[in-house]
Structure formats: C-alpha cells, structure tokens
Chain A
Amino acid sequence: MSPILVLLRKDVAQFRRDRAAMVFAFLVPLTMIILFGQINGVNGRSSMAGQLVGGWAMQFLLFVLVWSANSLFQEKDLGLFQRILSGPVPRSAILWSKFLYGAGFGLLQLVILFAAGGILFGLEILPHLPVLALVCFCAAAACSAFGMLLASLANTLEMARGLSTFCILLMSALGGAWFPVSILPPFLQHVSRFTLVYWSTLGFRQVLWERASLATLLPTIGILIAMAAALVSLAWWRFNRSQIFS
C-alpha cells in the first residue's frame, strides 16, 4: 500500500475516534443551519435555502480542514515526522495525504449537510447529486489547499490557529457564507471574487437554484480547481522552506 494511502487511513482512524471533531464537523453546522433557517423562514422554494446550507457548510468545512492541516504541527511536536521521514517515505507523501484527506472529508461533510438541507428545507438534491458532488469536491479541494497554505505560513500551532480563525471569518463574511454578496458595497463585491467561499457558494446556487448544466458550471468549477492548484502549490513551496519537517 502506498504511504499516502497508509497516512490517509491513519487520518480517517483518528477522526473516527475524535468525537469533538465529529460534533464540530456535522452537528454544529447543522444546528446553525436549522437555527438561521427558522429565523429567516427559509424553505426549498427560496434561493436562501441553498445559500444558507452552502454558506454554513463552507465555513465549518474551512474550520475543520484548517484544523486538520494544523495537526501537522502536533505531529511534528510528537516527533512523528522524524520516524516517518527516516524511513522510505518522502515529505510529499505526508502533504498529499493531508490534502486528499481534506478533499475527501470535505466532500463527505458537504454532501451530508446538503442531504440534511434536503430533508429540512425540501432542497432538491437527488436530481442534481452528481453535479452537486462535483462542485462539493472542487470546493473541498480548494478548502483543503487553503488549510495547508495557512499551516505552511505559520511557524507555530498557536500562530496557525490565530491566522486561520481571522482568515476564515473574513473570507466567510466577504465570500457570501453569511449573507448574499449582492448586499455588499460594490468594491467589496469585487474583493469577494478573490475568495474560494464566493466561488463555492456560487457553484451551489447554480446547481440548486438555477439548475445549471455541467457546461454552465465549468467556469465556476475551473476557478475552484485553479484556486486549489495555486494554493496547494504555494503550500508545497512554503513547506519545503519551513522548519516543520526538520
């Protein structure tokens, strides 16, 4: 079995044991979706349903994936990289496993939360499931890459936590996770286009509200993939110069 798969399995096994992470990944966003859905009187016939579910799901996905990337610091402190890297395992295997775990986990989290949205608000999920899953995967990959970039920029776990909380809240507000971007001033509407939350929520809206075809979605998906590629490349470059593997 490839080292990437072994490390992926390790991350999955760790998550299965971490009840707090499970609650934070699924239960907390679900509670927020229900709460704000009730406050705003959201139902499946309004565009708010997709916005609400997608927005909260994205914000919590970012938190979970950034924390997952930050586990690199804990693994470093435990001396695990010394053991792993003294064997026939390249650094890239550690980074790829974190990225793929994040993308896979994100896909699962988004699909589960959208399924819950379908039950709670009557969102039509099943007819669009393949396209929705594709958008979810691209969004999750971009979030995973973003988490890795933040971890690569920080020197310590504390710094990574502070930086990530600030960036996630800012990006969620600007990107349309909390409210539609259209209510922002024109300048901020332009700025929001630089966030992955904007393109992810746009993709969700296109699938669930506008019933867009795959061809129509391609630019949105393309931008998310390009963001994931750019972020992960930057993270790789930073990790190779950081002390995390020393």
Chain B
Amino acid sequence: MQAHPDSFSPLGPLVGPSRRSHRMNTPAPALSLHSAVKRYGALTALDGVTLEIQPGEFFGLLGPNGAGKTTILALLAGLRAPDAGEARIGERPAGDPRARRELGLVPQGLALYPDLTAAENLEIFGGLYGLARSARRARTAELLQAVQLSDRRDSLVRTFSGGMMRRLNLAAALLHRPRLLLCDEPTVGVDPHSRNEIFELLRRLNREGVTIVYSTHYLEEASRLCSRIGIIDHGKILALGTQDELLERLPFEEEIRFPATAATAGLCADLAGLGQLATEDGLHRFRPAAGFPLSAFYLAAERRALPSRLFACARPSLEAVFLHLTGKSLRE
C-alpha cells in the first residue's frame, strides 16, 4: 500500500507538500530499531529487536497483548530510551526534537481532555506543536471534517461514543501534518462503522505519503491494511514480510475447515500427529504437516463415512502463521 502519486483528496492533503520529495531524497529508512533491548525490572519487553521501515510503508506490528508492540512505539516516539541498541527516525535518534516534529502518535488510551470540546482539544494539541492561531483553526476544521465530527466540534468529548473518541484521537495526531504516524491499537473498542472510517483515513494518509506503523492484535486489520507485517511475541520479531511472504513460511498451502461436531470427533482423533488442528467458533481448522497429502485427509474422512460437503479448503490466514511460529493462537 505505497503512496499513490495521483491520489485525489477532496478535502485537501492531510500532509504537507514536501513529503514525497523528502521520501525520494532520503535513502535511510523512515524508522528503524537496531538490536533494541528494553527491560522493565525483571521483564524483558524487547529482546534485541532489529527493524527497518521504509518511507511510505504501511507497516503492521502484529502480536498478542504484552508482546512488546507498545514498547516499540514508545522507543520510536522517544518516550522511552532503549537499554541497549538504538531507535532512529530517519537519520536522527528517536527523541531528537526535530525527529519528534515529524512524528504523530495515536496512543492506545484515549489521550483527550474529556471536559473540553472536540475543537478545543485539537486546538490545544495544534498549539503544542507551535501552529499559529489561524493555521490551528483551519487545520482543526479540516480534520474534524476528515473524521466526520464537524457537527460535534463544540460538544464535550466526554459526551462522545467510543468510536467518535477514537476518530478524534486519530485526528489529534495529525494536526502538525506528520510524515510518520505511529498507531497503537487505534480501533480498540470501536464499532464497525467507526473502524471503517479510521481505516479509510489511514489508507488515504498512506496514499498521500505518510509512513504508518500500525500496532494491532487483530490479524484481520493487519492483513486488510498493511503492506508489510512484523509478527512479534515475547519481545522478539518472529517473522517479517508481506502477507504472502509470511504465508509462504507455512508448510502447507491450504487448510481444511470442517464443523466441530460429534460426527467429526473420530476424524480429529485420526488426524492426530498429521498436522495442526485448531478449533474456533465451532469450526475445526486442519493444517497438514509438511508432506502430508490432502488426498490422505479425504481418504480418512471417507473411512469415517463423512460427506465431502462438510469440508472446505481455504487459504490460511496470518493466524495460522502465528500458530505455526509460536505454537499458540493469537487470541490466547
């Protein structure tokens, strides 16, 4: 999902005009971590993470809660310093005042003043970035329109729904037209409508040249949005690549889904040791081990007199990759 040079934006660009030229002239990665280690007491939150994110990428950090996603974003945002290794924004160390101006952070919490209006919140955050009054007002109006909150500009934030707060949370990170956007689980607790609006806005920003790092534990979000994904667990990047590259790591190309009923229980027993069997929402997913032919599966099903209509082959998801890499489900 790289920037599209001919993208048209009816609301005017959400990022400044100099972004693309900057991208073309900057050989360094937009963001990088080199052997970054971060410890909180006895807990090692990041264990030698090395990561490079190129300008214009929509990069996903996928992992369960406590995997180290937020710590990576905190290092890149300059909120914490690594105990070893380094974090860089372009060619500058993270935390450098000029690097901070290029960054927008969408924190996991709703980092808004609940007793102020939507417009007041945006004007305050714009003011903190040194925007002049007229620029602040214009930008506030533009962003409220972009997140479809223009009609609520003078409403107190504490009266907003969760989805509206999340949209405003995103808008508050865009006031200074950042070149890089760090999103820490920006759709937690959001209704599908608001989630889609957030996705659309992020896609548009990315088309306009903003490099986005998107942390999530929802694999559907990572696969829908991100051009490249890093799978993280226990403070380590386990795999890195496009969705196709990650799926290629699996020892099987397709998984077989069938209902989890009493009738199929015997088949499950037959399949033990022949691959991974996961059960979720009343559905078994059989992921065959390397070298196990699908024909053998159907033969086993036939022996159990199970009709073929029960079975469906499907392309595996990132969930299967996570399970393959860690031996556990992303939801565990």
Contact = CB atoms under 8 A, between A and B. Distances in A.
Interface in B178-225: 182
B180 to A, nearest CB: 11
B110 A78 contact: yes
Nearest to A77: B109
Contact of A82 (B111, B114, B127, B130): B111
A80 interface: yes
Given A80-B111, A86-B79, 9 more contacts: A10-B113, A10-B116, A14-B115, A17-B156, A82-B74, A86-B77, A87-B103, A88-B97, A88-B100
Contacts of A89: 128
B105 interface: yes
Contacts, number: 80
A32 to B, nearest CB: 27
Interface string B116-135: 10001000110111100100
Contacts of B176: 87
B315 interface: no
A51 to B, nearest CB: 36
B217 to A, nearest CB: 18
B133 to A, nearest CB: 8
A79 B108 contact: yes
Secondary structure at chain B's binding surface: helix, strand, loop or mixed? Answer: loop
Main secondary structure of the interface of A (DSSP, over half): helix
Interface in B44-101: 74, 77-80, 97, 100-101
A4 to B, nearest CB: 10
Nearest to A5: B127
B251 interface: no
A85 interface: yes
Interface string A164-192: 00000000000000000000000000000
11 contacts: A9-B124, A9-B127, A13-B116, A14-B116, A18-B115, A78-B109, A78-B111, A82-B109, A87-B125, A87-B128, A88-B101
A32 B320 CA distance: 69
Given A14-B113, A14-B116, A82 B128 contact: no
